[in-house]
Amino acid sequence: MKKMKITKTTITTIIVHVIAWFVALIWILPFMGVFMASIRPYGEIIHGWWDFSSFNPTFSNFQMMMKFGLIDNFLSLILVHSAWGLPWIILFMRNFFSALPVEIEEAARVDGASYFKIFYKIVLPMSLPALASVTVLQFMWVWNDLFLALIFIYSDPMKLATQRLLYIGRAGPYHLDWSILSAASMIVMIVPILMFVLLQKYYIKGMVGWTIKG
């Protein structure tokens, strides 16, 4: 009886590990696709990144960033943050719009209002809480970003507030004035805090409003 119990436990462990590895594989496949596409010429991935009939890795796709002047330039951060932000913003706004009462739009259409007027006069004002939520979340993400700033911005005049915190309060390689660093951190934190306080009412409505239908 004891031997059978151990066997069942072993089988359960194996099943759990198989499921975990399967989930991990699903999560890592998109990353592998993007990574392979970034280090291989376009001709090699045109039929799929998993085609390894020819494999010639190169970093020329990255050096291209420099060719287009996207290194040490605010435009590079704007483009990357926009590309990362748009998918979740579109999903968020889509869920919010789907929760708006359709009866109001139908009544306005019966009264002869055009689609643009319905959007401008009815849908857009009702969407202000969702827009405020999106604005606060995206602004905080961009303001607090350090990773992308370290990749794209190098020169001192262009460095962002989060980058400058790395050097504030340093009196030498082994000494750091924590009082000055803490004061600088508080100054940097003031902007997102004020942003949240000013839009708090709309932010809360936007976060919970689209979850309530009707």
Mark whether 134 and 40 lie in a shared domain.
no
Nearest residue to 152 via CA among 60, 72, 81: 72
Mark whether 46 and 85 lie in a shared domain.
no
Q: Is residue 26 part of a domain?
A: yes
* Among 58, 86, 106, residue at a domain's last position: 58
CA 62 to the chain's CA centroid: 21
Mark whether 79 and 50 lie in a shared domain.
no
Q: What is the pLDDT of residues 35-88, one digit of tens each?
A: 888 788 878 888 887 887 888 887 777 767 777 777 888 888 888 898 888 888
Is this structure's pTM higher than 0.75? Answer: no
pLDDT surpassing 70 at residue 207: no
Residues 58 and 39: beta-carbon distance below 8 Å: yes
Mark whether 180 and 111 lie in a shared domain.
yes
The neighbouring-strand residues paired with 176 are 170
Calpha distance 127→130 (Å, rounded): 5
Residues 94 and 136: beta-carbon distance below 8 Å: no
Q: What is the pLDDT of residues 79-116, one digit of tens each?
A: 889 888 888 888 888 888 888 888 888 888 888 888 88
Q: Is residue 79 part of a domain?
A: yes
Calpha distance 109→186 (Å, rounded): 51
| Count of domains for the chain | 2
Assign residue 203 the CATH number of its domain: 1.10.3720.10
Task: Give the pLDDT score at 213.
Answer: 47
pLDDT surpassing 60 at residue 135: yes
Residue 2 structural domain: 1-58
Mark whether 20 and 108 lie in a shared domain.
no
Q: How confident is the model at residue 132 (pLDDT cuts 50, 70, 90)?
A: confident
Query: Which tokens go with 191?
Result: 């902007």
Mark whether 111 and 5 lie in a shared domain.
no
pLDDT surpassing 80 at residue 148: yes
Mark whether 48 and 80 lie in a shared domain.
no
pLDDT surpassing 50 at residue 214: no
Task: Give the pLDDT score at 54.
Answer: 81
Calpha distance 110→43 (Å, rounded): 54
Mark whether 134 and 28 lie in a shared domain.
no
Mark whether 4 and 93 lie in a shared domain.
no
Mark whether 83 and 46 lie in a shared domain.
no
Question: Measured between alpha carbons, how far is residue 69 from residues 25, 42, 74 in Å?
Answer: 36, 21, 10
Tell me the H-state helices in 46-158: 60-67, 74-99, 102-110, 115-118, 124-126, 128-143, 147-152
Q: Is residue 87 part of a domain?
A: yes
* Among 19, 39, 58, residue at a domain's last position: 58
* Among 27, 58, 89, residue at a domain's last position: 58
Mark whether 84 and 152 lie in a shared domain.
yes
